[in-house]
Amino acid sequence: MLTKLKNGVIVVTQLDQSLQERALTRIEQLIKEEANANNMLPLARSEIQLAFDKNRAVTAFSGKKPIGYVYLHLWQHYIEISGIVVHPNFRQQGLGLILIKTALSLAKRSFDLPIIILPNKVSGKIAKQLGFTHKDKTFFHPEIWSTCPTCKDYQNFPNCRCSCMVYET
């Protein structure tokens, strides 16, 4: 699937090998910068590659430069919209919304599991617009909290800044 936006940005759900290789390093760098700023959890290069290989990634490009990314993480009990990142120069333009909407559509088409998101402030606002609702952490299977030890705020778990939302239609 390919979506062209007014500002020349394209959003794609499947990348050929040359685009994957180009995108991988840049997306990894964007995620690392946001994780260092404590805006998201770090994500291993291998997990980004797996999302590309399994067609579970949504990537935005400006020209040939990757500027946004989100992927679907398959848990045993859920499909999670995860790893949402937008280059700082392209924020406040609706790109995060388009990435999440595209990932939500992909999740609904591809999986028969509840769809969740573990949002930050920005992605939480977007998720709420799209029909996600907040749930208490105890509502979810413990598997989704398994990555929490990699968070800088983990010492405060379960009273940390993280929340979880589920898609309800």
Which contiguous run of DSSP H or E holds residue 96?
Answer: helix 95-110
- Cα–Cα distance between 162 and 130 in angstroms, integer? 19
- Cα–Cα distance between 18 and 138 in angstroms, integer? 42
Residue 140 CA, chain-centre distance (Å), reads 19
- Cα–Cα distance between 53 and 73 in angstroms, integer? 13
Tokens 């239609």 belong to 169
Peptide bond into 42 cis (omega under 30): no
Residue 87 near residue 30 (C-beta atoms within 8 A)? yes
Beta strands 115-117 and 79-86, pairing class: parallel
pLDDT at residue 66 in the model? 94
pTM: 0.89
pLDDT at residue 1 in the model? 64
Residues contacting residue 41 through CB under 8 Å, at least 6 positions apart: 35, 147, 150, 151
pLDDT at residue 45 in the model? 92
Q: What CATH code would you report for 2-167?
A: 3.40.630.30
Closest CA to 86 of 61, 115, 54, 55: 61
pLDDT (tens, 9 = 90+) of the chain, 169 residues, equals 667 776 778 888 888 888 888 899 999 999 999 989 888 888 999 999 999 999 999 999 998 899 999 999 999 999 999 999 999 999 999 999 999 999 999 999 999 999 999 887 778 889 999 999 999 888 888 888 888 888 777 888 888 877 899 998 6
Give strand pairing partners of 2. Answer: 12
